[in-house]
Chains A and B, each alone.
Chain A
Amino acid sequence: MISELEELYQEVILDHSRRPRNFGDLADAAVRVHGDNPACGDEIHLGVKFGTDGGLQDIKFTGHGCAISQASASLMTAKLKGKSRAEATEMLRAFHDLVTDETAEAPKMLGDLRLLQGVRKFPQRVKCAMLAWRAVEQALQQSAGESTISTETEFVTP
């Protein structure tokens, strides 16, 4: 059997792609970010609600795309809910390293997101994995309102 494929599409990832968590519209979202991966047509609509302490009180998404982009969004929302901005920013950086840097260790704080490490062997799929994260990066920067991002603009690690 093919190990790189199984590493990329681990059972948990396939499960999240088939039944994404936190999938739906967040009615009282403070920020809405529409994210596009024009190279493959993946789309995400991310809603984030911030708590009084500025943390990510709630986060949900809708959209469509490949298994990697859906699973990444699902796992990400599960992980980021309830986190402070500083924690979210740190995870964003750690996740980016995880999927792009061959030598990066997979830090414990990423939890199940570490299962997406297999993406680093598939450079064409990094954008799929990063789409939801690019959207959350934008959300953290603006705190309120709506905006649009695209994976075709350079990802800059915060």
Chain B
Amino acid sequence: MHQVASGGIDWKAIREDFPILRERAHGHPLIYFDSAATSQKPRAVLDALRNYYEHENANVHRGLHELSSRATEAYEKSRQQVANYLGAASADEIVFTRGTTESINLVAQAWGGKFLRDGDVVLLTEMEHHSNLVPWQLLAERTGAQLRFVPVCDDGTLALDRLSSLLTPEVKLFAFTHVSNSLGTINPVRELCEKARAVGALTLVDAAQSAGHMPINVRELGCDFLAFSGHKMCGPTGIGALYGRAEILDSIPPWHGGGEMIVSVTLEKSAFKKAPHRFEAGTPNIAGAIGLAAAIDYIESIGRAAIFEHDAQLAGYAMERLAELPGMRVLGPSAERGALVGFVMEAAHPHDLTTFADQYGLAMRGGHHCNQPLMRRFGLPGTTRASFYFYNTKGEIDRMIEILRDAVRFFS
């Protein structure tokens, strides 16, 4: 679909699939370098949402009428597509959630609430997004479980040499991010899962920054849980999923109570459906799930390996060009990295820099990126982050460099 005759990919045509990229901001052509916060949406996803509301809208698993069957079928087909996308063994291993944050909270509250005891340990890393930290703090408070952290080295990678001393038998779960949203570090998921398994710990992968950016296969990675958000991978907001290995998902009690998740209810007691429906109380985000499936189709039509390659080139090019600027410090590893660069400049505070850039139509993010402990670790109040996706171009990076150069002149 997106191939040109030579066998290469027509990235320019792909860019045309995103109507919003024709917007102007403050009178300038929009340069959207904030896809790590949320990605833009291709027309295919917008059309899928519209099509659903125009032709299929009804509640799922309830009505005995035609539209309800269509909606239910589309919703469950979306679940199967997510399962395929992640390489899960079955659609029953996919719970629809609002996104990464809700997926992690589900594990923390429902799994952690049942299985964690005083003295148990949840191992995290110093680079976790607040959404893979705060739910565990809440759980620790409730259960008496302890939190432990894999330190981050100066180059932005995990201190893997510390792993064997941290991964003791008390560790019941090791939860870590696949790609750091501030550093761009790509963690060695497979190796981390293997080491955790060796001490009997389960693993949870925060795939918020990787699910739309690179091939992922949960069975190859060997993780027990994996969480992601649709809105960071071309899908709508308010939808995401939790992958949970069947055997584990089935052992977890319900989380939210309500309609859809029950088999039978008396005034005293209820019997619950099996996973994943047990975890989806109430009317789900049907349109969101359908939009997410459309996003998956769209991404697969380009190919995740190609997207990864494209984004890596952009990130590498950005690193190279940023190094030309005076007083520039780029965080994170210099070799392999995800589709983003976080940096600080002597001349200007991240906040001033992003305000300045915004006036030229360049959308970046400045601040702590929901990584306060990590920022503290690097002795920084925050960074400026430019994050990319397959619709961005080298030309846009060149323009960013010009704008940053102007900013240096303006602020010094």
Segment with Cβ contacts to A, from B39-47, B225-233, B348-356: B348-356
Query: A36-83: which have CB < 8 Å to B?
Result: 38-43, 64-68
Tell me the nearest residue of chain A to B27, going by C-beta: A2
B238 within 8 Å of A (CB atoms): no
B330 within 8 Å of A (CB atoms): no
- A66–B367 contact, CB under 8 A? no
Query: B370-384: which have CB < 8 Å to A?
Result: 372, 375, 380-382
Residues of B within 8 A of A155 (CB): none
- B366–A40 contact, CB under 8 A? yes
- B367–A4 contact, CB under 8 A? no
Residues of B within 8 A of A2 (CB): 26, 359-360
Residues of A within 8 A of B360 (CB): 2
CA distance A125 to B350 in the complex (A): 12
Can you report 12 A-B residue pairs in the complex whose CB atoms are below 8 A from each other?
A2-B26, A9-B410, A9-B411, A40-B350, A41-B367, A65-B349, A66-B349, A66-B350, A68-B351, A122-B355, A125-B351, A128-B351
CA distance A8 to B382 in the complex (A): 21
Residues of A within 8 A of B382 (CB): 40-41
Tell me the nearest residue of chain A to B410, going by C-beta: A9
- Whole-angstrom distance between the Cβ of A18 and the nearest chain B Cβ: 8
A14 within 8 Å of B (CB atoms): yes
Residues of A within 8 A of B351 (CB): 40, 42, 65-66, 68, 125, 128
Closest 9 CB pairs of A and B: A41-B381, A66-B351, A66-B349, A41-B382, A67-B352, A5-B359, A2-B359, A66-B352, A40-B367
Interface residues on A, range: 20 to 34
Residues of A within 8 A of B381 (CB): 40-43, 64-65
- B411–A67 contact, CB under 8 A? yes
B278 within 8 Å of A (CB atoms): no
CA distance A104 to B32 in the complex (A): 34
- The DSSP consensus for interface residues of chain A is mixed
B310 within 8 Å of A (CB atoms): no
- B359–A68 contact, CB under 8 A? no
Interface residues on B, range: 20 to 34
CA distance A70 to B265 in the complex (A): 61
B368 within 8 Å of A (CB atoms): yes
Residues of B within 8 A of A66 (CB): 349-352
Residues of B within 8 A of A68 (CB): 351-352
Residues of B within 8 A of A122 (CB): 355
Residues of A within 8 A of B367 (CB): 39-41
Q: Mark A109-145, 1 if CB is under 8 A from B, else 0.
A: 0000000000000101100100000000000000000
- Whole-angstrom distance between the Cβ of A53 and the nearest chain B Cβ: 38
Residues of A within 8 A of B350 (CB): 40, 66
- B368–A125 contact, CB under 8 A? no
Given contacts A9-B410, A67-B411, contact A41 B368 (CB under 8 A): yes
Q: Mark B336-355, 1 if CB is under 8 A from A, else 0.
A: 00000000000011111001
- A67–B375 contact, CB under 8 A? no
CA distance A68 to B372 in the complex (A): 21
Given contacts A14-B411, A40-B367, A41-B381, contact A67 B349 (CB under 8 A): yes
CA distance A14 to B407 in the complex (A): 12
Partner of B356, one of A5, A38, A40, A41: A5
Between A41, A65, A124, the greatest number of chain B beta carbons within 10 A of the residue's beta carbon is seen for A41
CA distance A41 to B379 in the complex (A): 11
Between B26, B360, B367, B381, the greatest number of chain A beta carbons within 10 A of the residue's beta carbon is seen for B381
Tell me the nearest residue of chain A to B366, going by C-beta: A40
- B375–A125 contact, CB under 8 A? no
Q: Mark B381-396, 1 if CB is under 8 A from A, else 0.
A: 1100000000000000
CA distance A38 to B371 in the complex (A): 11
CA distance A67 to B352 in the complex (A): 7
Q: Give 7 A-B pairs besides A40-B381, A65-B381 with Cβ atoms closer than 8 angstroms.
A: A2-B360, A5-B359, A65-B349, A66-B350, A68-B351, A124-B355, A128-B351
CA distance A26 to B366 in the complex (A): 31
CA distance A41 to B372 in the complex (A): 9
CA distance A40 to B410 in the complex (A): 21
Between A40, A68, A128, the greatest number of chain B beta carbons within 10 A of the residue's beta carbon is seen for A40
- Whole-angstrom distance between the Cβ of B148 and the nearest chain A Cβ: 25
Residues of B within 8 A of A38 (CB): 372
- A41–B375 contact, CB under 8 A? yes
Tell me the nearest residue of chain B to A42, going by C-beta: B381
Residues of A within 8 A of B355 (CB): 5, 8, 122, 124-125
